[in-house]
């Protein structure tokens, strides 16, 4: 991994905001060091955008086994971090802290604890979740709190992300309420489907006193310990990653059992749309693609398409629309609807010149992999499936495809469709959550539409949207303006970072007023 371009070259950030805040951003993944999905991208881009606005931001994240502190030239802190572990035989674990400064002055601190993180995989390996995840992320949450306490400056905001940090607000409030009086604890939900649920017998991993085992705060109705549920009740403020998703998660259908808690906290919950990091995800700077391009050099996109077709072993057919899918393979992502839809569409073709080609990049369990593999085998000149996680290929698909299909059942924000637009790759999406917030349908709004939206996730509706996209592609006079419009949409972090900043500043002012 070449990390040189991420490491700071001594930049000074001017204070854009009125008040410079000290923010600790805790995340279980941070691109490019560790990433399983959108959280990793957000955890690198949002801190940077806040630092660009003049804030002092420190990211805290685990040092996983695939990360080499020497190769990354990290500096080791002389003082280890003592993390109490009441649940263990030992009373504390000494974690080594490693740090470096990233672009725009963001500092990143890696927590090294061999027994928890010194292995391959973030949350599991080979489709199997690690058995000690309850322990691992209780430890991480506690490490975040101890790090915050040890911070040399008063911490204004402790920003926790997803269930992996769900226990941090509880630890802070239970053990150190006074110390955290002036620190606002914000919890962001990146995906409510993942809550960190464990068998009740794992409660000991939290190290919390018995009283927490006797209330419903940390337990689901079905008796499981639920880390996110705890965090959502103890954090001072909640955010999620799109306004649409903020509404959805307060409904029974979208709340994954937590809708009532979220309804009760609706005054403290706000949806702020994720942004795109255009220093990484833009066709004029992308380091992974062979021909860079922009609105004025769209020919470059054609060359990326031909290269992608060639690399994937598809016939090089400029006139056929090339569809791309870049996805974790899970129930959420609608792969079970996509596969039969594509099969029907391609089976019905009457002419070689009709239809489309499709490349799919996806990591996930055998049930989805096998279905996609079979689909590819049925249509060898039309469909290619590349299993696994491949960052460079994700970029090449963005640049080389004409259309990106995102048929998610629900989608908190979704980044791939946002990135796609910048590459002139027109999205086909299901109207849900952040997909509905970011893509407007061409038929609904011929002047401003940026993609094709299916209102419900059925085979018919998805097929209709794909067919509309394929037909539009064949009319370049119509297609080109659509591409250009998509490329001109600005989803940079600038606006979103301002929204986080306003939230953080108002929370900080409330803390000060309360004193």
Taking Cα atoms as reference points, which of 128, 3, 24 lies closest to residue 66? 3
Residues 99-115 as b/e (b if ≥16 CB within 10 A, e otherwise) read: bbbbbbbbbbbbbbbee
Nearer to ligand ADP, 259 or 288 (CB): 288
- Restricted to residues 377-406, the positions that interact with ligand ADP (CB under 6 A) are 389-391, 394
Q: What minimum distance in Å lies between the beta carbon of 359 and ligand ADP?
A: 12
Q: Are 122 and 64 in contact (CB under 8 A)?
A: yes
Shortest gap between Cβ of 372 and ligand ADP (angstroms)? 12
Task: Decide if residue 123 touches ligand ADP (CB under 6 A).
Answer: no
3-state secondary structure of 342: helix
Instruction: Name which of 233 and 330 has its Cβ closer to ligand ADP.
Output: 330
Q: Which stretch binds ligand ADP (CB under 6 A): 44-52, 129-137, 356-364, 476-484?
A: 356-364
Indicate whether 17 belongs to the interface with ligand ADP (CB under 6 A).
no
Burial of 235 by CB count in 10 Å (0-12 exposed, 13-18 middle, 19+ buried)?
Answer: buried
Among 292, 328, 409, 468, binds ligand ADP (CB under 6 A): 328
Q: CB of 399: closest distance to ligand ADP in angstroms?
A: 12
Residue of the chain from 105, 275, 355, 362 that contacts ligand ADP (CB under 6 A): 362
Ranges of H-type helices in 177-321 = 227-234, 243-248, 259-264, 299-312
Neighbours of 247 (CB within 10 A): 15
Q: Are 206 and 167 in contact (CB under 8 A)?
A: yes
The CB-of-493 to ligand ADP minimum distance in angstroms stands at 14
- Identify whether the C-beta of residue 195 lies closer than 8 Å to the C-beta of residue 137: no
For the chain, helix, strand, coil in percent to 5 are 40, 20, 40
Least distance (Å) from ligand ADP to the CB of residue 225? 24
* DSSP 8-state assignment for residue 185: E
Coil, strand or helix at 219: strand
Report the residue number, 95 or 289, with the smaller CB distance to ligand ADP: 289
Q: Rounded to the nearest whole angstrom, what is the least distance from the CB of residue 410 to ligand ADP in the complex?
A: 10
**In the complex, least distance from residue 140 CB atom to ligand ADP, rounded to whole angstroms:** 19
Pick 363 or 441: Cβ nearer ligand ADP? 363
Residue selected from 345, 361, 383, 428 as contacting ligand ADP according to rule CB under 6 A: 361
Residue 327: CB minimum distance to ligand ADP, A: 5
- Closest separation in Å from C-beta 315 to ligand ADP: 24
C-alpha–C-alpha distance, residues 225 and 208, integer Å: 12
Q: Pick the stretch among 246-254, 260-268, 320-328, 491-499 that binds ligand ADP (CB under 6 A).
A: 320-328
Tokens of 318: 């400029």
How many whole angstroms separate alpha carbon 433 and alpha carbon 422? 20
Give the tokens for residue 81: 């971090």
Q: What is the DSSP letter of 186?
A: E
Using CB under 6 A as the binding rule, whether residue 326 contacts ligand ADP is answered as yes
> Of 62 and 414, which has the nearer Cβ to ligand ADP?
414
Map the footprint of ligand ADP across residues 172-211, applying CB under 6 A: 191
Query: What is the C-alpha to C-alpha distance for residues 442 and 493, in angstroms, rounded to an integer?
Result: 25
# residues near ligand ADP by CB under 6 A: 18
Beta carbon of residue 480, minimum distance to ligand ADP (angstroms, whole number): 25
Which of 27, 233, 357, 416 forms a contact with ligand ADP (CB under 6 A)?
Answer: 416
Instruction: Give 191 or 233: the residue with its C-beta nearer to ligand ADP.
Output: 191
Told to check if 217 binds ligand ADP by CB under 6 A, we report: no
Considering only residues 21 to 60 of the shown chain, the ones binding ligand ADP according to CB under 6 A are: 37-38, 41
What residue is closest to ligand ADP based on CB?
A: 38
Separation between Cα atoms, residue 336 and residue 459, nearest integer Å:
10
Choice between 81 and 383, CB closer to ligand ADP: 383
In whole angstroms, give the CA distance from residue 497 to residue 274: 9
The CA dihedral of 202, 205, 210, 213, to the nearest 10 degrees, is -40
Query: Residue 104: CB partners within 8 Å, gap ≥ 6?
Result: 8, 11, 13, 48, 51, 52
Residues that bind ligand ADP (CB under 6 A): 37-38, 41, 191, 326-328, 361-363, 389-391, 394, 413-416
């Amino acid at each position: 991994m070449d990390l040189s371009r991420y490491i700071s070259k001594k930049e000074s950030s001017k204070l854009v905001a009125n008040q410079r805040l000290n923010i600790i951003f805790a995340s279980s993944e941070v691109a490019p060091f560790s990433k399983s999905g959108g959280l990793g991208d957000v955890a690198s881009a949002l801190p940077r955008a806040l630092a660009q606005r003049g804030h002092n931001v420190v990211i805290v994240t685990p040092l996983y086994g695939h990360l080499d502190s020497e190769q990354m030239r990290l500096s080791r802190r002389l003082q280890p971090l003592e993390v109490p572990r009441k649940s263990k035989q030992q009373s504390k674990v000494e974690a080594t802290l490693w740090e470096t400064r990233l672009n725009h002055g963001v500092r990143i601190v890696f927590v090294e604890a061999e027994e928890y993180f010194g292995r391959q995989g973030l949350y599991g390996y080979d489709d199997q979740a690690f058995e000690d995840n309850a322990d691992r992320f209780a430890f991480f949450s506690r490490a975040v709190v101890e790090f915050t306490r040890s911070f040399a400056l008063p911490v204004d905001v402790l920003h926790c992300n997803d269930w992996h940090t769900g226990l941090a607000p509880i630890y802070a409030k239970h053990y150190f309420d006074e110390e955290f009086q002036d620190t606002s604890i914000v919890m962001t939900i990146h995906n409510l489907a993942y809550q960190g649920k464990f068998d009740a017998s794992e409660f000991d991993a939290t190290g919390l006193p018995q009283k927490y085992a006797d209330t419903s705060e940390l337990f689901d109705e079905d008796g499981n310990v639920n880390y996110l549920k705890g965090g959502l009740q103890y954090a001072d403020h909640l955010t999620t990653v799109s306004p649409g998703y903020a509404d959805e998660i307060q409904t029974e259908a979208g709340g994954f059992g937590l809708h009532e808690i979220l309804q009760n906290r609706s005054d403290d919950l706000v949806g702020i749309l994720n942004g795109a990091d255009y220093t990484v995800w833009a066709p004029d700077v992308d380091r992974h693609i062979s021909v860079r391009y922009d609105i004025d050099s769209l020919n470059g996109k054609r060359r990326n398409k031909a290269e992608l077709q060639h690399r994937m072993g598809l016939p090089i057919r400029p006139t056929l629309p090339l569809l791309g899918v870049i996805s974790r393979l899970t129930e959420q992502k609608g792969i079970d609807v996509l596969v039969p839809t594509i099969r029907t569409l391609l089976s019905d073709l009457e002419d070689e010149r009709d239809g489309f080609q499709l490349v799919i990049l996806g990591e996930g369990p055998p049930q989805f992999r096998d279905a996609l593999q079979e689909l590819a085998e049925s249509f060898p000149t039309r469909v290619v499936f590349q299993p696994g996680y491949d960052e460079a290929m994700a970029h090449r698909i963005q640049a080389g495809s004409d259309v990106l299909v995102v048929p998610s059942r629900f989608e908190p924000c979704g980044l791939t469709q946002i990135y796609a637009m910048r590459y002139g790759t027109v999205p086909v999406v299901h109207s849900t959550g952040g997909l509905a917030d970011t893509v407007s349908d061409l038929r609904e709004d011929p002047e401003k539409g940026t993609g094709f939206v299916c209102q419900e996730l059925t085979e018919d509706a998805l097929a209709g949207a794909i067919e509309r996209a394929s037909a539009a592609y064949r009319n370049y006079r119509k297609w080109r303006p659509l591409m250009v419009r998509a490329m001109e949409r600005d989803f940079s972090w600038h606006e979103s970072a301002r929204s986080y900043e306003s939230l953080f500043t108002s929370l900080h002012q409330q803390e000060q007023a309360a004193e």
